[in-house]
């Protein structure tokens, strides 16, 4: 049975981290870097995906975890919307848009799958292992 010993073990969090790094690098260039409102908003939305997965993981119950995962999934939608604006304004090219859009959709899909699993499972919350670490165990 797979388990998460830390939020960093969650694939959706890892995907969001990579997306955030790429968005930061891309939004540091050209006209995108000078559009402070869009640049900062897309960065905050990416960070929000990561932060909500992490915060939900650290909560004590499945219901809270699902709630924070739902917020993370919403932030993925926000990133996708901002990507459309960046593309429409010529800040990113089609290939970059397509790659970021695909990465964002995959992150949202992974979050959605975890939400569905948690809602269907009988898991009520995380357990604390002998090392004092919070552990969520899942069967996929």
Per-residue pLDDT tens, the chain, 140 aa: give them: 357 889 999 999 999 999 999 999 999 999 999 999 999 999 999 999 999 999 999 987 889 999 999 999 999 999 999 999 999 999 999 999 999 999 999 999 999 999 998 888 766 555 545 555 555 555 44
Contact 41, 84 (CB under 8 A): no
DSSP strand E in the chain: where? 3-4, 127-128, 134-137
What does DSSP assign to residue 5?
S
User: Domains of the chain (ranges plus CATH)?
Assistant: 3-137 (1.20.1440.60)
Contact 87, 38 (CB under 8 A): no
């Amino acid at each position: 049975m797979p388990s998460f010993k830390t939020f960093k073990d969650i694939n959706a969090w890892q995907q969001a981290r990579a997306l955030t790094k790429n968005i930061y690098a891309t939004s540091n260039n050209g006209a995108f870097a000078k559009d402070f409102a869009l640049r900062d908003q897309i960065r905050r939305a990416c960070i929000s995906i990561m932060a909500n997965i992490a915060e939900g993981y650290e909560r004590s119950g499945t219901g809270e975890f699902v709630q924070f995962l739902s917020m993370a999934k919403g932030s993925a939608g926000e990133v996708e919307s901002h990507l459309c604006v960046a593309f429409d304004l010529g800040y990113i090219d089609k290939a970059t848009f397509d790659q970021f859009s695909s990465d964002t959709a995959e992150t949202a899909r992974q979050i959605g799958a975890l939400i569905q699993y948690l809602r269907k499972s009988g898991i009520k919350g995380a357990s604390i292992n002998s090392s004092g670490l919070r552990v969520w165990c899942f069967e996929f």
